[in-house]
Structure formats: structure tokens, C-alpha cells
Structure 1
């Protein structure tokens, strides 16, 4: 059995919300702040990686 890689999403804001995206099967909504230094943040629940559009291809 293989595990899928976490999803990477390109976003336009440095502050984003993640709820797992699966309705009742997701997780509690959390607000995440993308550090300007690194340009990305990972959700502590679902490991989704959010990359700011200015860092696309760099992070």
C-alpha cells in the first residue's frame, strides 16, 4: 500500500484557512500564516502545502 503525497496549493494570500477540503471528512478549520521569508506553510492536520504565488517553483 502506498501513501499519496500531500497536496500542494498555490495561493495569493499570506493568510489562508485549511479545513481538509472534504466536508465532514476533513478536519477543524485552522488559519495558517505563510512566512514571507520561506513563502510556504504546511497544514498540521492534513500536511497540505500552501505556497504563495510569488514563491511558485522556489519553495
Structure 2
């Protein structure tokens, strides 16, 4: 069985919301803060990696 890698999204804000997409198939909306030191955060529900545009290609 092959497990797919979590989604990676480039965002333009340090405070972002994640709801897993897919409408009713998603998860509860959570607000996440991207640390300015690392430039990325991982959603605790869907494991999506959210990267700020200033850190694209560096993470």
C-alpha cells in the first residue's frame, strides 16, 4: 500500500486558515500561524504543509 505525501501549499500570509478542502469531506477550519523564523507550518488535521511565499524553495 502506498501512502500519498501530504499536500504542500504556498501562501502569502503568515496567519492562514485550513479546512482540508473538499467541502464536506474536509475537516473543521483551523487558524494557523506560520513562524517567521521557519516560514512553514503543518496542519494538525490533514498534515498539509503551508509555506509562506518568502520561503518558497528554501524549505
TM-score (norm 1): 0.97
Whole-angstrom CA distance in 1 between matches of 2:23 and 2:30: 14
Number of matched residues?
A: 59
The alignment yields a C-alpha RMSD, in angstroms, of 0.4
Gaps of 5+ in 1: none
Unaligned 5+ segments in structure 2 are: none
Structure 1's consecutive aligned runs of 4 or more residues displaced over 3 angstroms after TM superposition are: none
Shift of 1:40: 0.1
